[in-house]
Structure 1
Amino acid sequence: MQGTADEHDPAPAGLRERKKQRTRQAIATAALRLFAERGYEETTIAEIAAAADVSPRTFFSYFPSKEDVVFAEIDDRLAEVSEQLRRTPGETPMETIRRSVIDVLEALVAEHGEYGAVQIALIQERPGLRAQALHRMMNTQEQIEALLRDLCPDLAEVDAVAASGMAIGGMQAVVAHCRREGYDPLSMRRALDRAVDIVERGLASVDALTRPSL
């Protein structure tokens, strides 16, 4: 008889995933704390691993490089958007977009706390990280564009490009502003709610996004 995965790992799949996500977040938080205390260049991967109570090998199982750990939260939240932008019968694409974005923003407000400003400062100050951020944003806009066209097959190509750029660019700019200026969680949530309203009003002008999915 063929064995199951649980015979080798007794933890259920959902529990394993939650443990992996906690480890990933612990590594990212430890890295940002050390970057704030010691400086980005001065902090080694071995020091990050020790601060997160994992081995350097475990670090590399989660992040290919020290650069990637700076973008951990951004990558995770964008992956969540991609997972949630799926067609729901009876729901307009606009309703799907809003629901998905709100869920992700809740996590953005809660994560990293004081180290969110460190993350933004690192990206702004280092050309290599700025280039990585731009590359990630361009890739994300293309991914969201494809997801929007799948969510709404009759969406015109230019409308999909403009909508994805507006949504990703607008929300990224507000998150960066809030963290750079040191907004507390409540103020950041209010700012993001306002940003969602602005983006939603812009997207509402695209008729295809306001028709219910079949």
Structure 2
Amino acid sequence: MADEETRPSLRERKKRRTRQAIATAALRLFAEHGYEETTIADIAAAADVSPRTFFSYFPSKEDVVFAEIDDRLAEVAERLRRTPGETPMETIRRSIVDVLEAIVAEHRDYGAVQVRLVLERPALRARALQRLLDAQDAIEALFHELCPGISEIDAVAASGIAVGGMQAVVAHCRREGYDPLSMRTALDRAVDLVEHGLNSVDALSRPSP
């Protein structure tokens, strides 16, 4: 019963597929024709939607570059809820591993394009930095929810370790063109390193009542 209540509805699944189709079509066109040369009308046509539908999912062409990042961060926020008897660290690892499965599978052919666009364009770099800072703030707030006794500095440092460490490894793997198996191996190692750093925070290792 609980699984049925948390499973996305047919409408939600359709919306996610449409959003993913738009993002994938955009990255493919950016790779084939260039970022500046690709219009929103081009992206909409390639995804078999109208420009109006595009704007119902993304405010601008710049935002479509970050579609996957935004979706994965939203997933982490959804999953990072404490389970009775589980330590915060166990919750964090479970949530991150679930999300990494999607990262490895998504944008397999165009992940490097996404990274290159961000590195080459100052406006996109600025947006990427803002998203990184927003993600750290959001994860910090979730850490406070997971362990109400955690200190402010511990929560700030822990969110920086978790978000910064995983983001850096994902970007590296895509920039260097890692195949899915190699990328998963690298991300597993990153999770181990992040967990090692977070284990020094006592509040994250206390089981819930």
TM-score norm. by structure 2 comes to 0.96
How many pairs were matched up? 203
Q: Does 1:88 align with 2:83?
A: yes
Corresponding letter in the other structure for 1:83: E
Instruction: Identify which of 185, 196, 205 aligns with 1:210.
Output: 205
Q: Deviations 1:42-71 (Å, cap 9, x if unpaired)?
A: 000000000000000000000000000000
Instruction: Provide the aligned C-alpha RMSD in A.
Output: 1.0
**1:213: Cα distance to partner?**
1.1
Q: Deviations 1:152-177 (Å, cap 9, x if unpaired)?
A: 10111000000000000000000000
Instruction: Identify which of 60, 64, 67 aligns with 1:69.
Output: 64
Corresponding letter in the other structure for 1:173: A
- For the residues of structure 1 that align with 2:148 and 2:131, how far apart are their CA atoms? 25
**1:79: Cα distance to partner?**
0.2
Q: Does 1:17 align with 2:12?
A: yes
TM-score norm. by structure 1 comes to 0.94
Could you tell me which runs of 5 or more consecutive residues in structure 1 were left unpaired when the two chains were aligned: 1-12
- For the residues of structure 2 that align with 1:133 and 1:104, how far apart are their CA atoms? 19
- For the residues of structure 1 that align with 2:191 and 2:82, how far apart are their CA atoms? 20
Q: 2:51 corresponds to which residue?
A: 56
**1:90: Cα distance to partner?**
0.3
Corresponding letter in the other structure for 1:182: G
- For the residues of structure 1 that align with 2:142 and 2:94, how far apart are their CA atoms? 15
* Identical counterparts, % of pairs: 80
Pairing 1:144-159 to 2, within 5 Å after superposition: 144-159=139-154
Q: Does 1:43 align with 2:38?
A: yes
- For the residues of structure 1 that align with 2:158 and 2:201, how far apart are their CA atoms? 9
Corresponding letter in the other structure for 1:79: A
- For the residues of structure 2 that align with 1:176 and 1:106, how far apart are their CA atoms? 15
2:27 alignment partner, SS class: helix
- For the residues of structure 1 that align with 2:35 and 2:147, how far apart are their CA atoms? 43
Instruction: Identify which of 119, 129, 143 aligns with 2:138.
Output: 143
Q: Does 1:133 align with 2:133?
A: no
Q: What stretches of structure 1 move > 6 A for 4+ residues in a row?
A: none
- For the residues of structure 1 that align with 2:150 and 2:171, how far apart are their CA atoms? 29
Q: Does 1:173 align with 2:161?
A: no
The structure with the largest alpha-carbon Rg is 1
Corresponding letter in the other structure for 1:128: A
**1:87: Cα distance to partner?**
1.4
Q: 1:33 corresponds to which residue?
A: 28
- For the residues of structure 2 that align with 1:158 and 1:106, how far apart are their CA atoms? 30
Corresponding letter in the other structure for 1:98: R
Corresponding letter in the other structure for 1:62: Y
- For the residues of structure 2 that align with 1:125 and 1:80, how far apart are their CA atoms? 28
Q: Does 1:79 align with 2:67?
A: no
